[in-house]
Structure 1
Amino acid sequence: MSFDPGIPAPTLPSRIHGSLLGGALGDALGYAVQSDSIAGIRERFGAQGLTGFEDLEGPGRFSDDTQLTLYTVDGLVEALEWANSGVGADVNACLWLAYLRWLATQGWDAGPSAPAPQPRWIDGNEVLRQRRRPDKECLSGLATGEMGTAMRPVNPEAKGTGTVMRSAPFGLVPHITPDAVYKLSADAAALTHGHPAARQSAGIFSLLIHRLVSGEGLREAAAGVSAHAAALPDVVPELPERLEAALRLAEEAVAGPEELLQALGGGRTAEEALAVALYAVIATARAGEAEAQPVAHFRDAMLVAVNHSGASDTTGALAGNILGALYGEACLPARWLEALEAAEVIRGMADQLVKVTTGEG
């Protein structure tokens, strides 16, 4: 997607709100079918699968993907608040403290060696205290009470989706270099996941969001981060392989869920989830992109992202993060927003990020 010269590009606040709300919409839609195979989804909803919140009863409940994304926002906001007051802060320490507060909401204890973080506004929102199938590797990594790093990893074999699913906010912070975006995201991933594939996938996803927020088109940004991944020192080969496969497949006809699973995997590892989401948003981009309808693109991409036999909540969340960063709030279906639980909490965290990065609000 490249914006027509006569169409104003989204503002940064719109992109921040769009990415966080879009991610929550995709997460909630996918969470409704997270445990289902594609056969089970079709049995529940018909041959086309889940087509929107209109098919669901009750509010659209999001998973731990959105909870941890918002806690990532909170950690970044705290670090930026310190910076704006003239005090340097360790960004990764702020993120670790935020994640420890999320851990406590899930009924887990990090033990006596971990610090006791001071509560913040985010902690008072009951919806973020619900247990929504929390990522086991995030729980176990934080419960060690040790602040994991790339050099001293916790969960050294963990390469699940718990890193990429929470990493969009790093790309939403303006005025930092691409290298800094990647490093912030990869370092934060090491707090819970020690496998290089998990850290590298998180960094590349954040870099994709950053490039979109900076004004690049969708295909341009996707090709750029795929090339960046291939050039990483000590890159885990499955990451660039999955990304390249996603880009190739997206240029063909829209694949069926079975073909998608075979080509890209089910999205149960970090690199697979990123590849499936990237495929979903590119494969559904319409011809004549300058005239594309953002809402239609969002809906179409979500249906590809969640209707498969894999981690539908994470692949839906990542696709929503991507399109919200690209289009801003203009792509979000109004009826879906009405059905989303606790949208005001997501907007509240988006407002905080907007305020510390732009001074608005």
Structure 2
Amino acid sequence: MPDSTSSQLLSPDRGIAPAHDTYRDSVTAVFRSLAVASLSAADEPGELAQLAARTADALNEVAEWANDGLSADPTACAWLSYLRWARAAGARPPASSPVPPARDFESDFPLLASPGTPHGDSFTVLATGEFGEVVRPIDPTTNSPEVLTRSIPYGLVPNLGWKALVPLVVDAAAITHGDPEAQTAAVATALSIHASVRARETNADVSHILAAVIEVCAGMTRPAPKTNALLRMVSKVTDRAELGSADGALSRAVTDGTAASSALALGLAAAKVAQVDDAGNQDPQGTVARALDLINGHPATSEAARSVAAAVIAACWGTTSVPTDDGAVVTELDVLARQWCDRWCP
């Protein structure tokens, strides 16, 4: 049973307060963390950072409509945004597929919008031109981990308690990922970011965040026994020896890390262990580095796990926990963060 600190982090009806002094800083930090986790050797954003940026643009579009006094379907906006990404990456959907109306994203963010070489289920399903739903999945087995990273921005949406946030994330994940385990892992990712932002108000740690996420995910109607079991295993990890051992229970459970729930568990475990290691050192940027080092040294390392770990730490500690250099990708992510804050907390 979570303690009172954990219960404050995820409320069914109370969401993140955008007027809080730390909100804008957390948004900037989380967006910057995408570059930390996914920059390629060519200093270009990878597929996962690009998908997360498309999620942010879709949610910004929802906020734009709302600020004009109109409503927009957030799942439809997400689908159209992902279709723009897939077409830019070379997808050629059937003629019957909708052609998304243009937005300024391509001109505003040339690196985040640049053509890439996608390799996950998102691209494969989007290339069909069809719209996946929970009750009508395009492929009920899709379970690749890039769905985690693209779900991160949902955790930053203000004023939504988990009762409203959970179905929003499930529907967005189901556009491409039909496996309930992947949908639940996407929810756990968004809830972890949401709880991490709230943790700045209470000085809660990753253990409290995990307890809150476990409680909400356990009550979901999606059948996701593996994801829930992995979250409980992560809550029992206390040091890097448990995470680093190839023969450890968690390592055996995450197998090769190619499933969404496995990457989620690895990312959250790394964030938790790194934070424990950093206790009292007041070195949040070092905490990110330690978390990524733990993942890089693990047999099941993945970009999605890296993005989860970096984003959770960034949301907890703000821009001090991520690099502040003036790289081109970081600059674009900073602009995207400002756009987000202008639309969601004008």
**Match of residue 166 from structure 1:** 150
Contact 2:253 2:262 in 1 (8 A): no
Residue 199 of structure 1 pairs with residue 183 of structure 2 = yes
Per the TM alignment, residue 26 of structure 1 is displaced from its structure 2 partner at its CA by 1.5
**Match of residue 232 from structure 2:** 244
SS of 2:159 mapped into structure 1: coil
Structure 1 unaligned regions, length at least 5: 3-8, 33-58
**Match of residue 102 from structure 2:** 119
Of the candidates 167, 183, 193, which is equivalent to residue 167 of structure 2?
183
SS of 2:276 mapped into structure 1: coil
Mapping of 1:54-203 within 5 angstroms? 60-124=43-107, 125-203=109-187
**Match of residue 210 from structure 2:** 222
Return the letter of the residue paired with 2:94: G
Take 1:136 and 1:122, find their aligned partners in 2: how far apart are those partners? Answer: 22
Per the TM alignment, residue 288 of structure 1 is displaced from its structure 2 partner at its CA by 7.9
Cα distance change on mapping 1:76 and 1:251 into 2, 3 Å: same
Query: Could you report, residue by residue, the CA deviation over 1:118-168 in whole angstroms, capped at 9, with x for unpaired residues?
Result: 222222333234454413311121122221110111121101112112111
Cα distance change on mapping 1:341 and 1:303 into 2, 3 Å: farther
Take 1:163 and 1:327, find their aligned partners in 2: how far apart are those partners? Answer: 24
Of the candidates 324, 327, 331, which is equivalent to residue 344 of structure 1?
331
Contact 1:148 1:192 in 2 (8 A): yes
Return the letter of the residue paired with 2:198: S
**Match of residue 30 from structure 2:** 19
SS of 1:319 mapped into structure 2: helix
- Percent identity, aligned pairs only, is 28
Contact 2:278 2:287 in 1 (8 A): no
Residue 299 of structure 1 pairs with residue 282 of structure 2 = no
**Match of residue 46 from structure 1:** none
Return the letter of the residue paired with 1:248: K
**Match of residue 280 from structure 1:** 270
**Match of residue 14 from structure 2:** none
Residues 74-83 or 151-160, more deviating: 151-160
> Cα RMSD between the aligned structures?
2.3
When normalised by structure 1's length, the TM-score is 0.83
Residues 231-240 or 191-200, more deviating: 231-240
**Match of residue 10 from structure 2:** none
**Match of residue 220 from structure 2:** 232
Cα distance change on mapping 1:341 and 1:264 into 2, 3 Å: farther
Contact 1:257 1:307 in 2 (8 A): no
Mapping of 1:20-39 within 5 angstroms? 20-28=31-39
Query: Could you report, residue by residue, the CA deviation over 1:209-246 in whole angstroms, capped at 9, with x for unpaired residues?
Result: 11111235222111111222223224311001111112
Mapping of 1:260-275 within 5 angstroms? 261-275=251-265
Contact 2:112 2:332 in 1 (8 A): no
Take 2:310 and 2:21, find their aligned partners in 1: how far apart are those partners? Answer: 16
Return the letter of the residue paired with 1:348: V
Take 1:10 and 1:309, find their aligned partners in 2: how far apart are those partners? Answer: 40
Contact 2:244 2:297 in 1 (8 A): no
Take 2:245 and 2:49, find their aligned partners in 1: how far apart are those partners? Answer: 24
Take 1:274 and 1:250, find their aligned partners in 2: how far apart are those partners? Answer: 17
Contact 1:19 1:325 in 2 (8 A): yes
Take 2:133 and 2:306, find their aligned partners in 1: how far apart are those partners? Answer: 28
Take 1:61 and 1:228, find their aligned partners in 2: how far apart are those partners? Answer: 36
Paired positions, count: 322
Take 1:341 and 1:254, find their aligned partners in 2: how far apart are those partners? Answer: 37
Take 1:94 and 1:152, find their aligned partners in 2: how far apart are those partners? Answer: 18
Contact 1:80 1:356 in 2 (8 A): yes
Contact 1:245 1:264 in 2 (8 A): no
**Match of residue 48 from structure 1:** none
SS of 1:283 mapped into structure 2: helix
Residue 309 of structure 1 pairs with residue 299 of structure 2 = yes
Higher-RCO chain (CA-CA 8 Å, sequence separation at least 6)? 1
